[in-house]
Amino acid sequence: MTMLTNLKEYLEHLQLEQLFKKLDASDPETLAKTVEHFTVKEGEKRDQIVENYFGQNGICRIVDTVTECLLEHPRLPSEGKVLDVGAGSGFFTVRVARKVRAEIPNVSFYAMDLTPAMLLSLAKKKADIVPFVGLAENIRGSIEQARKHFIVPFKFDAVFSTLMLHHSTRPERFFESIKETLEKHGKAVVVDLCEHSFEEFRTEMGDVHLGFKPENIHAMARRHFADVKVEKLPGICCESSGRSTEIFIAIMKNFL
């Protein structure tokens, strides 16, 4: 059975409200709105949306920066496991996986997301990435549920996430959730929007947070990791209809 057929079958029987309950989701109403937004407004269109946001240069910078973090010390094992949280249509997952596998061919990639339509779009890319539905704030519980249908490990050598955090109902919990699923030598990379004032993004783009101050991200991550670096990515912005938002990257290693 192909990954896509397997995913379609799993999604046919999936009850999202029940999954939210099992995962102890704190705000199921907001989660349902997020799923609706990404199903109706993005889904198949997500890749084009990302291209419009960043252009080719910006995309390459994000892909290269995330890949460099994954490849730098501590190096991924030859059979390493990497998880993308809030992977969406897999725009970045596929590109990062391709670059990492050019260096370490047997690394396995997994993609978790809240929105089934986004994962279907990812699976259609046939990029040898295992998709499953789950909550960023409870990755471990999500894996427990997904393991009834897919072969997903409990622990990863690296976790990354691009542009998911500003949709999270509990961003501080996300950092704890990452730590729970990382191997002892593991590392994590989070890319998201810096704080901005475009209130209309809440309705237009389903955003829950108007970005974050890098120092607040640092403080959230430092509760769980000894080694945290958060910086703005210079020279790259997320552009939407003349509105421009800076991007930060957070890199986390070594548990407390």
Ligand X SMILES: C[S@@+](CC[C@H](N)C(=O)[O-])C[C@H]1O[C@@H](n2cnc3c(N)ncnc32)[C@H](O)[C@@H]1O
What is the binding site for ligand X (CB under 6 A)? 34, 38, 46, 50, 86-88, 91-92, 113-115, 118, 135-137, 162-164, 167-168
Smallest separation (angstroms) from ligand X to the CB of 42: 7
Cβ distance to ligand X smaller for residue 75 or 232: 232
Smallest separation (angstroms) from ligand X to the CB of 78: 26
Smallest separation (angstroms) from ligand X to the CB of 207: 8
Cβ distance to ligand X smaller for residue 185 or 209: 209
Cβ distance to ligand X smaller for residue 56 or 78: 56
Smallest separation (angstroms) from ligand X to the CB of 254: 25
Supply the DSSP string of the chain, one letter for each residue. Answer: --HHHHHHHHHHH--HHHHHHHTT-S-HHHHHHHHHHIIIIIGGGHHHHHHHHHHHHHHHHHHHHHHHHHHSSSPPPTT-EEEEET-TT-HHHHHHHHHHHHHSTT-EEEEEES-HHHHHHHHTT--SEEEEE--GGGHHHHHHHHTTTS---S-EEEEEEES-GGG-S-HHHHHHHHHHHEEEEEEEEEEEEBP---TTHHHHS--SSS-B-HHHHHHHHHTTEEEEEEEEEEEEEEEETTEEEEEEEEEEEEE-
Cβ distance to ligand X smaller for residue 108 or 115: 115
Residue number with the smallest Cβ distance to ligand X:
88
